[in-house]
Amino acid sequence: MRINTNSTRLKTILKSSAAAGLATVMVYGGATGYVAQAFADPVKVDAAAAAPGFADVVTAVSPAVVSVRVKGEMKQVSDSMPGFGSGQGFGDLPENHPLRRFFDQFGGPGFKGIPDGDNAPHQARPMSQGSGFFISKDGYVVTNNHVVDNGTEFSVLLDDGTELEATLVGKDRRTDLAVLKVDAKRDFTYVDFADDKKARVGDWVVAVGNPFGLGGSVTAGIVSALGRDIGSGPYDDYIQIDAAVNRGNSGGPAFNLDGEVVGINTAIFSPSGGNVGIAFAIPAYVAQDVVQDLIDDGEIERGWLGVQIQPVDAEIAESLGLEKQQGALVVEPQEGSPGAKAGIEAGDVIVSMNGEPIEDARDLSVKVASAGPSKEVELSVWRKGETKSVEVTLGDLANAGGNAQEEQKEKAPAPSSQDALPSLGLTVAPAQDGKGLLIAKVDPESEAAARGISEGERIASINNNEVADVDDAKDILADVRKSDRSHALFQIEGEQGSRFVALPIQQS
């Protein structure tokens, strides 16, 4: 029998090569290839380079972080209802507000007590526990307003277990910040604020604080988002982090890897009341200015324009002929306010202040507040297709009065006076006082219904033109169609005040 010598030779090579762990030469259809060594090195990851530890940062900053303890006069709380504190401002959110629950569940235990009754006894007792940190060697401590609010006695517990009395220097409800002062004949370890304008999503952060009253605890995570607006006030610009933050972390710092304070932990979003990886911190740039003002004056002075504003979305911008989505839309100037005196009108879009562009409504609030009282500013407003300049001397927000007038909802008019605007899904009629159109019916399938317009409200103007009857409305809409715009801007007035809504219109 004839032996296939080529096959036998190949098997011999394979056996000897495998035993020796050598690269093997293979022949496939005349092409030569190579098989890698059988004993290659395993995969290794340099963990130290990929994820540095936080021990050095924690060791350096921990002596500057304190637990804040607050006592005050308050009614006895029910043992069965251990409410969690949120504080002035956040606690003022409506009961049906989607963020009300998580604010109620954040802060020191027993901060916002539920009285057993009107005759519940008053006594000095612990109100809350939170966190804070030294920002100077002579004992200034930063924390949250909602930690110290309504307190009469304050103390801080240091990292080494020493408890020292503190006094309240000042607090600011609108930014939820407060400053305490510890007077002791010693120098304190303190930390500095970071340039958080350089913070990026994905940066490491280390949170140090006093969760559940346990004392100094450390958690780590990353910056999850920047510029969060959580509906707590006009100056919302929170840093969102995923480091574990719980009740009692309020007022504690979030550090970067250089040991600088990026933000002050203030609130969490949580269906259960515990950490779910969504926490919000006041950015350092906000805290730094407010804290310095509190130290200098004990209070914050803010400029006041006195106009109700709302954001400009893409549809509102298109309806007004703006080239891009920017600025703050004036819903209504408050009577007697600096804005009203300067001639700012409902429907104006404020697009810049002192030559600096206004990005949105929140940006205008921040810029006006930062300018301060008695400051003269120049506003550029977009009004009926033209840019106008308005000079305003700002007032003092602390002395600004609220709108005392309450708008009453009018009853829908009698059927005989109604007329339909079928393209909008609305049935309207002239208001009894001759100002605007009352909305008698809203098609539930219409865009008007989808955007929250309801029966009993009033159309005050369309594209900043007042309307007195249905013919006015039809004429204005016809002009809008001729300008090739796809939306018209409606000023809607109701029980909740005035607002602007952009509605799509059909092209004829």
Give the pair of three-digit tokens for residue 399: 């002395």
**For residues 155 and 264, what is the distance between their CA atoms, to the nearest angstrom?**
19
Angle, vertex CA 374, rays to CA 373 and CA 376, nearest 5: 115
**For residues 375 and 71, what is the distance between their CA atoms, to the nearest angstrom?**
39
**For residues 63 and 84, what is the distance between their CA atoms, to the nearest angstrom?**
27
Residue at token pair 């005035």: 498
Q: What is the distance, to the nearest Å, from the Cα of residue 248 to the centroid of all Cα atoms in its chain?
A: 20
Give the pair of three-digit tokens for residue 113: 């007590």
Give the pair of three-digit tokens for residue 414: 């009698």
> Could you tell me which of 322, 325, 327, 335 has the C-alpha nearest to residue 309?
327
Look at the alpha carbons of 453, 455, 456, 458 in this order and tell me if their dihedral is positive or negative. positive
Establish whether 176 is a catalytic residue: yes
Distant-in-sequence, close-in-space partners of 447: CB < 8 Å, separation ≥ 6:
424, 425, 503, 504
> Could you tell me which of 181, 177, 396 has the C-alpha nearest to residue 293?
177
Task: Count, in order, helices (H) and strands (E) of the chain.
Answer: 11, 29
DSSP strand pairing (279-283 vs 303-304): unpaired
**For residues 89 and 95, what is the distance between their CA atoms, to the nearest angstrom?**
13
Give the pair of three-digit tokens for residue 58: 């924690």
Catalytic residue among 104, 149, 172, 176: 176
Instruction: For the chain, report the end-to-end CA distance as a whole number of angstroms.
Output: 96
Catalytic residue among 131, 146, 270, 487: 146
Q: Which helix (H) or strand (E) element contains residue 296? A: helix 284-297
**For residues 81 and 8, what is the distance between their CA atoms, to the nearest angstrom?**
87
Contact 470, 437 (CB under 8 A): yes
Catalytic residue among 86, 232, 250, 446: 250
Beta bridge mates, 65: 133
> Could you tell me which of 9, 145, 5, 4 has the C-alpha nearest to residue 68?
145
CA distances to 3, 4, 15 from 7, in Å: 9, 6, 13
Active site residues: 146, 176, 250
